[in-house]
């Protein structure tokens, strides 16, 4: 039996975040990218919370994060409003 190590879990999460960021960047309806951070997250994570352009969105999970359960920051798209 192979134990599911925390490192593997974090690596999988990093992969998912990278993929979601790539998808948001590819989507023309996405104007900006917001980084959402839970209120109980560590100071390093708190620092990256905010709204970014597609070009400046930071890589997640945050480097140097000390959240007990690993970084829980995630991307949220800010869509352009399209009126028919």
Residues that bind Zn ion (CB under 5 A): 41-42, 45, 65, 67, 71
* Cβ closest to Zn ion, residue 41 vs residue 57: 41
In the complex, minimum distance from the CB of residue 4 to Zn ion, in angstroms, rounded to a whole number: 21
Cβ closer to Zn ion: 10 or 42?
Answer: 42
**Residues 54, 24: contact at Cβ < 8 Å?**
yes
Helix (H) or strand (E) holding 44: helix 43-48
Q: How many CB atoms lie within 10 A of CB 42?
A: 17
User: C-beta of 66: minimal distance to Zn ion in Å?
Assistant: 6
Q: Which is nearer to Zn ion, 16 or 79 (CB)?
A: 16
- 76 to each of 21, 35, 44, 49, how far by Cα in Å? 9, 6, 19, 11
Q: How far is the CB of 2 from Zn ion (least distance, A)?
A: 27
């Amino acid at each position: 039996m192979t134990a599911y190590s925390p490192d593997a879990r974090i690596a999988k999460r990093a992969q998912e975040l990278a993929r979601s960021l790539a998808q948001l960047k590819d989507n023309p309806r996405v104007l900006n990218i917001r980084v959402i951070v839970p209120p109980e997250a560590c100071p390093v994570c708190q620092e990256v919370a905010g709204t970014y352009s597609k070009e400046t969105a930071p890589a997640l999970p945050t480097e140097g994060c000390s959240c007990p359960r690993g970084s829980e920051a995630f991307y949220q798209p800010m869509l352009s409003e399209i009126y028919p």
